[in-house]
Structure 1
């Protein structure tokens, strides 16, 4: 497991699964092998020699201000999902989380950058009679009020998305553990050293998480950046971005703010080395991997 120290804040990457090669062409159709080949810094860590993108599902566990915080919860085990790579998983995610010092009962806060199936799955675990129970019973689960409001207003929701909300979000709400935060344009401080930053586009209420401790800082992307190829060309959009124009605007603003600073970028789907510094590179940017 990778680990980074942001001043007094400890950040642990908790792995769930590596995504199959077919994920890249589906998720980022504009990132063709020819496009990827134009940015040699992507290979071999972020892209294979044949041009396919390396992507993973992992979460970040934080030790901050005496609290244990989990940012996103992955896909989860035993859940029916339309994506074959996510369906009915059986991984050792909880064991890895515990091995990093984060037993389920010890988590104080769970931050959900947005409500997609690969970010909320471990919110819950199987209970009696086919029910779902909160996996982290002593935590407050936090997401933006705008994100929750969007999904509650969707008409004719596809069945797979409704199933995801029913098994991974609504049980948390029913147990009184879901906190909805109005995230201000300039960011909303949730905890000492932890700020929620609005990143609309992929979903209307998506947030990134900024960490600050002394002179040190980092940003956890959520899905405002799926893969480092989007640093090279911020106009590359995900096929599931709800508002691609807003997604490009959010991504470009973030990268422009971080460029040539010492703020670490931690990608929510970046394969190892996962973290790096943003540097300007021609008309775009590049990620310079950071040690962990």
Structure 2
């Protein structure tokens, strides 16, 4: 299956840290009908398993423009103490993998976090002599101004307010901000940006709030071709078919649902590559209308 895409002069490479793994539907989803999920045969076998659990992935997108090397979301990280067993104290070859994709630590220009949850900021830092230090010493880390304000005000809470689902403690807010975000801020490597920030000529942010207050998606355009990296606006193709289904980690579920409907209305049925930040392989495809709702049409 495809893990690299060309959008004009921009190369996008998916680097998987965890996946493809089933995640219990009853833990992930809020306000969903198990029978309805089981009926989504179009999602099988790649995005829905035989036990009717969504299949997910945690990955980074390495975005290479003519002038910049950009990481979009930095996964979970090694050695990070986390509440969820899936994410706790990982040891992966992530740095070697991104280097093979042309993003060696010292050569990364920009680190772009769609939001500041544990599986999107983890490799912002790594452990050196017992201290968390920025992993990418020559990069500027772009954090949303609204997103950072939210987390700076809540940096000492264990569970994010508003995230009420069974899995919400996995977010482990306090530890994440202290070991994966604050060291970058203290090193002076961050830049606070607005939710519509133009990152470079080929890359811009687009506000997609709800999962977190300052959540953004990433729009890539080059030579008339387009791709959009979703972030956690949605976690599974199921939420295209059922945009009102939220996840346990949403800080504002109703706003997240409104965002999905707005986004799907805006971008469906266009020649745009849709890259799901937690979509299992195949990760890229098109957002298409289907019987009054939407579906994901994978690109092989």
Give the shorter-chain TM-score range. Answer: over 0.9
2:3 alignment partner in structure 1? 2
Aligned to 2:177: 165
SS in 1 for 2:232: coil
Give the equivalent residue in structure 1 for 2:35.
34
Residue correspondence of structure 1 range 104-123 to structure 2 within 5 A? 104-123=105-124
Do the aligned partners of residues 85 and 155 (structure 1) sit closer, same or farther apart at CA in structure 2, a change above 3 Å counting?
A: closer
Aligned to 1:175: 187
Alpha-carbon distance between aligned partners in 2 of 1:126 and 1:168, rounded to the nearest angstrom: 10
* Cα distance in 1, alignment partners of residues 299 and 81 from structure 2: 36
- The range that moved more, 161-170 or 28-37, is 28-37
Post-superposition offset of 1:200: 0.7
For the structure 1 residues 37 and 253, does the alpha-carbon distance in structure 2 shift closer, same or farther, using more than 3 Å as the test?
A: same
Shift of 1:283: 2.3
Aligned-CA RMSD value:
1.5
Structure 2: distance between partners of 1:31 and 1:124:
36
The within-5 A match list for 1:248-259 is 248-259=257-268
C-alpha distance in structure 1 between counterparts of 2:271 and 2:207, whole Å: 21
Does the aligned pair in 1 maintain the 2:111–2:141 contact within 8 Å? yes
Taking a change above 3 Å as real, the CA distance of residues 34 and 161 of structure 1, as seen in their structure-2 partners, is same
Say which SS state the counterpart of residue 55 (structure 1) adopts. strand
Out of 233, 241, 263, the residue aligned to residue 242 of structure 2 is 233
The whole-number CA distance in structure 2 between the counterparts of 1:69 and 1:263 is 20
Report the secondary structure of 1:122's partner residue.
Answer: helix
Cross-structure match for 2:166: none
Q: Does 1:209 align with 2:210?
A: no
1:101 is aligned to 2:90 = no
Q: Which residue in 2 is equivalent to 1:53?
A: 54
Corresponding position of 1:196: 205
Secondary structure of 2:246 counterpart: coil
Q: Displacement of 1:37 after TM fit?
A: 2.4
Number of residue pairs matched by the alignment: 287
CA distance in 2, matches of 1:20, 1:96: 19
Cα distance in 2 for partners of 1:155, 1:108 equals: 27
Cα displacement (A) at 1:282:
1.1
For the 8 Å contact 2:20–2:280, the answer to whether it is kept is: no
1:118–1:141 distance in 2 versus 1, CA, 3 Å = same
- 1:17 corresponding residue in structure 2: 18
Deviation, 1:150, is 0.6
**1:25 Cα deviation after fit:** 2.6
**Structure 1, residues 237-269: CA drift from partner, whole Å, max 9, x if none?**
011111111101111111111111001110000
Matches within 5 A, 1:212-291: 212-291=221-300
TM-score, normalization by structure 2: 0.92
For structure 1, list consecutive stretches of 5 or more residues without a partner in the other structure: none
Structure 2: tracts of 5 or more residues without a match:
160-171
Q: CA–CA distance in 1 between the matches of 2:14 and 2:31?
A: 28
SS of equivalent residue, structure 2 residue 55:
coil
Once residues 32 and 71 of structure 1 are traced to their aligned partners in structure 2, the CA distance between those partners, rounded to angstroms, is: 32
